């Protein structure tokens, strides 16, 4: 079974992420929030580093419950800064709290974050069919638009490159290379 080049010869958990999540349309707000936070945590780091810490993040951040996270206080921030299982970056931790607040506002306005994020593509997945990973962009006008809107709403660590990666992670964009077994699979995780 051929995978995208970035997932070949990698640890099983990384291949599982490629095989079961990346590029697969996601619609559950809980997972959409989790991946948004993890993508922001990745800024300046590798995705494999974040995936290794994913379970630690779930424990540290109340299983990615935005209602709880939005209520974190300074004491909780200091506790998280001591947690060796996550990326201990003060700006990223504070961003997670602020982003949880904005996420909840978006849910209220659009009835779900899913409705919001998928509205940018009229609920359709973009399938690019790149031949190689070198053909995959790091940003597009779509990621520019979503990044700008999220920043305007008050989120941070949502630059256009992070948002492009996020759109790939949640399956709004399928960038599996043409030789990958997932290139034509568009199963939805609802």
User: Given 14, 22, 34, 39, which residue is catalytic?
Assistant: 39
Q: Output the six-digit token pair for 184.
A: 């034509």
Which residues have a Cβ under 8 Å from the Cβ of 89 and sit 6 or more positions away? 41
Q: Is 39 a catalytic residue?
A: yes
Catalytic residue from among 17, 57, 164, 166:
17
Residue 159 confidence (pLDDT): 97
| Domain architecture of the chain: domains with CATH | 5-174 (1.10.340.30)
According to the model, what pLDDT value does residue 187 have? Answer: 45
Tens digit of pLDDT at every position of the chain (190 positions): 899 999 999 999 999 999 999 999 999 999 999 999 999 999 999 999 999 999 999 999 999 999 999 999 999 999 999 999 999 999 999 999 999 999 999 999 999 999 999 999 999 999 999 999 999 999 999 999 999 999 999 999 999 999 999 999 999 999 999 999 998 654 444 4
Give the predicted TM-score (pTM) of the model: 0.94
Q: Which residues, at least 6 apart from 86, have a Cβ–Cβ distance to it below 8 Å? A: 41, 53, 56, 57, 60, 61, 80
5 is catalytic: no
* Predicted pLDDT of residue 188: 45
């Amino acid at each position: 079974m051929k995978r995208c080049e970035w997932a070949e010869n990698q640890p099983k958990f990384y291949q599982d992420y490629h095989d079961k999540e990346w590029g697969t349309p996601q619609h559950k707000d809980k997972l959409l929030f989790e991946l948004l936070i993890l993508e922001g945590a990745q800024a300046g780091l590798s995705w494999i580093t974040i995936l290794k810490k994913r379970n630690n993040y779930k424990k540290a951040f109340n299983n990615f419950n935005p209602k709880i996270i939005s209520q974190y206080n300074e004491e909780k921030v200091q506790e998280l800064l001591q947690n060796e299982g996550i990326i201990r970056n003060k700006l990223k931790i504070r961003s997670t709290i602020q982003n949880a607040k904005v996420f909840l506002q978006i849910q209220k306005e659009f009835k779900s974050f899913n409705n919001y994020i998928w509205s940018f593509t009229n609920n359709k997945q973009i399938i690019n069919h790149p031949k190689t990973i070198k053909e995959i962009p790091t940003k597009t006008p779509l990621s520019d638009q979503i990044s700008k809107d999220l920043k305007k709403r008050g989120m941070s660590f949502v630059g256009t490159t992070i948002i492009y990666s996020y759109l790939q992670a949640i399956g709004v964009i399928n960038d599996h290379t043409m030789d990958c077994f997932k290139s034509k699979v568009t199963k939805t995780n609802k």
